[in-house]
Structure 1
Amino acid sequence: MTEVDTTSMTAWIAPRYGGGEVLRAEVVPRPAPGDRDVVVRVRAASVCSGDLHLLTGTPYLLRLGFGLRRPKHRMIGQNLAGEVVAVGGAVTDFRVGDRVFGEVSHGAFAEYVRADAGAFAVVPAALSMEEAAAIPDSGMTALQGLRDIGKVGPGHRVLINGASGGVGSFAVQLAKVLGAHVSAVCSTRHLAMVRDIGADVVIDYTADDFTRTEVPYDVIFDLAGNRKLREIRRVLTADGVFISSAAAPGNNWFGPVRWLTQVALTDLFARQTLKALLMRPAAADLDYLAGLAVEGSLRPVIERQFPLSDTASAIAAFERGHASGKTVLVA
């Protein structure tokens, strides 16, 4: 009888900064829970833009906090769903065997991950692990942008620029849940998908310029960062809200710092509200998003699935961009 090894696991490691080509699978010690932690057996994980920033070390300013010469945390991955296999002594919300999902700081692209129990929420029985793993980063970013900054409500005219990606596909649906009339900007090949998830108006940016519209928007959620601020403000109502997320333009050294500074300074002197979005993970938001998914108001859009054993290929596909929804890894 073969003895099962319960002390080690396989994880995807980034020994240096780079793209998917630097990743390698290594056998490492399996984590044990701290007092407030849970250890989760990863069943599915999804790729987000934060994974790519931490893997490549760009913008280089990030390296001041995440490792100057090589990644401080060699195990990558932030979004996952799986089963709890161990709990810390102070954990009361979860038990061994619970299906959970959430966002962690690192290490999701592995057989097991350890994190504070507060990072997780329960996966409803009606959701698959793949669907749950697709939700955390993108779903919470869309929700906090529209609900908390945009204050989107019934009757608002909302435009999502970059509507076909991970965050965008959630944003279109959440804006509809909040009662808005939704215009969605994407490329030609994504038009059908974006229309299918509920957009009232779909704008093909290869053929039409949304900044030339005659009817202004109450809220513009920018996930593409491909238009000048003055162009966007021109189609925003006098007291409208502009929200800029992580895809803001910038170079490899300082990334979006110049752009975000411009947004902040303009906000000081404009009647319009212009804000940059920094998503903060919250278990309550995960519960809310999962509830919407169960009732059918929200559908995680999954374009590509890879086995967890082929994480490098998944990262390479994500690097190429122009995704239609999420890229998911399945254990």
Structure 2
Amino acid sequence: MPDLDLLRTLAPPVEPPPPRAFTPPPARGRRPVLLATPIAVGAVILAVVLTQLGGGQPFAEAAIRAAQASPRLLVNGWKVTRVDEWDAGTGEMTFARDGRSVEVSWTAVDNGNKDLVRVAGAEVAGADAWVGRYPGSTDYVARWRQGDAFVQARGDAATPAAFIDVLERIYQVGAEDWLAALPATAVEPKAQAAAASQMLMGIPLPPGFKTPPATDETRDRYQLGAKVAGAVVCGWIEEWLHGDTAAAARALAGSRSWPLLQDMNAEGDYPEVVWQYADAINGKGDVPGGKLGLSVDGTYREALGC
């Protein structure tokens, strides 16, 4: 059993207190990973180390110390669906309820954003927050200081009051409760090699392919899948550009049947980007964007995250 699964067996996820009735902000679909995203955070480290059951301590002291130094925020009545990367200094989470989502991130420095227009103030998890909106949109952002971290929450809402209503449901918990709330999709460093090997099952690999090495970051399974799939697809595109074009075209033509991309397709758009390139290479469509003069070799690295 992977360490993170065992960890949750020892300490099942914590259900937040029942929420008050409210209307959450509309959802924003997950965008293709490895492209520019609304919340960009630096690489972060999570070391979840298991201890023995002796003493009734379900989490290792190192994991608890790391969590204690982070904001440890949850949203009342919402479920944590993604923790792609985190440590004490930086991190990124997605909370969801009824098909809607709110993104929360934290950094060690205040990045700011001059494009936002201030609309209100609010109290969030005991701290004073600045609330802004992107002009002409329903896209709201709140920023505040939580201990040593600069925290940001972002989501869509019909009005500033509706967004603030969500902000008021953000609260801070203890380290163990926060660790126990991590989603099953989080893949810690020690589990990444085995997860990547499983993801590659049923996928033809290009000549000289090497599985992407594990990182020291805890990754969301979708993001890890994009990293693995991207390495395969980019390898085949490079083969198509410089090697056996027929073999590469055949391999990519079958990408719609790859189990990894089929699994990912229900959650995000990355597989659709892959399939657009596969079609373009096989003469059945344009590369993403469909603009005149857009070429596979000039765009695939940025689009696929090579």
TM-score range normalised by the length of the shorter chain: under 0.3
| Bigger Cα Rg | 2
Which structure has the highest strand share of the two?
Answer: 1
